[in-house]
């Protein structure tokens, strides 16, 4: 017997996953938490839909083999609920800590990310200034200097 998913469930799952991933890519920790929760709900719904239609309990000798339902998707959904709950509580604690320390829940740029971005910009500038005839195969441009003349002390400290 082949079981197919109906179009309503497919659209609902696509909507839950789209909204969840969109929220997950935001800089606000509360939106990230909501994205995780929505993705968890989407995963649970997907597992329940993949389990097929309701059937007889899987006790040996009480139902015909073809009428029994597979218990694995239900067990996986229960596990997904527990994991989503644990991750949600952890992220709520992080968001509260961020709000208590900084007064907002926006994720800041990492100092290392800024350093890498500056090094890539300097490498691109060196590459653009070097004529094609002088470029050597396999040569990598030097990294950006640690401090530049006239640079603000705050920016130099963040590197």
What percentage of the chain exceeds 70 in pLDDT? 77
Residue 89 has pLDDT above 80, yes or no: yes
Percent helix, strand and coil across the chain, each to the nearest 5: 65, 5, 35
In a domain, 1, yes or no: no
**Mean pLDDT across the stretch 116-135?**
80
Residue that finishes a domain, picked among 77, 102, 127? 102
Q: What CATH number is attached to the domain comprising 83?
A: 1.10.287
Same domain, 98 and 116: no
Any residues with CB less than 8 A from the CB of 30 and at least 6 apart, and which?
95, 105
Same domain, 98 and 32: yes
Closest CA to 33 of 79, 78, 86: 86
How would residue 146 be classed by pLDDT, with cut points 50, 70 and 90? low
Please give the residue that has the higher pLDDT: either 50 or 41.
Answer: 41
Same domain, 32 and 78: yes
0.75 exceeded by pTM: no
Residue 88 has pLDDT above 90, yes or no: yes
């Amino acid at each position: 017997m082949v079981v197919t998913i109906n179009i309503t469930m497919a659209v609902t799952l696509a909507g839950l996953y789209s909204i969840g991933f969109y929220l997950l890519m935001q800089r606000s920790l509360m939106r990230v938490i909501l994205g995780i929760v929505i993705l968890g709900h989407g995963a649970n719904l997907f597992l329940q839909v993949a389990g097929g239609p309701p059937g007889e309990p899987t006790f040996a000798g009480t139902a015909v083999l073809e009428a029994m339902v597979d218990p694995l998707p239900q067990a996986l959904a229960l596990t997904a609920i527990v994991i989503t709950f644990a991750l949600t509580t952890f992220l709520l604690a992080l968001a509260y800590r961020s709000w208590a320390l900084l007064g907002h829940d926006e994720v800041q740029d990492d100092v290392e990310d800024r350093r890498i971005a500056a090094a890539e910009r300097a490498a691109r500038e060196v590459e653009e200034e070097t004529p094609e005839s002088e470029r050597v195969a396999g040569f990598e441009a030097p990294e950006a200097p640690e401090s530049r003349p006239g640079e603000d002390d705050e920016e130099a400290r963040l590197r």
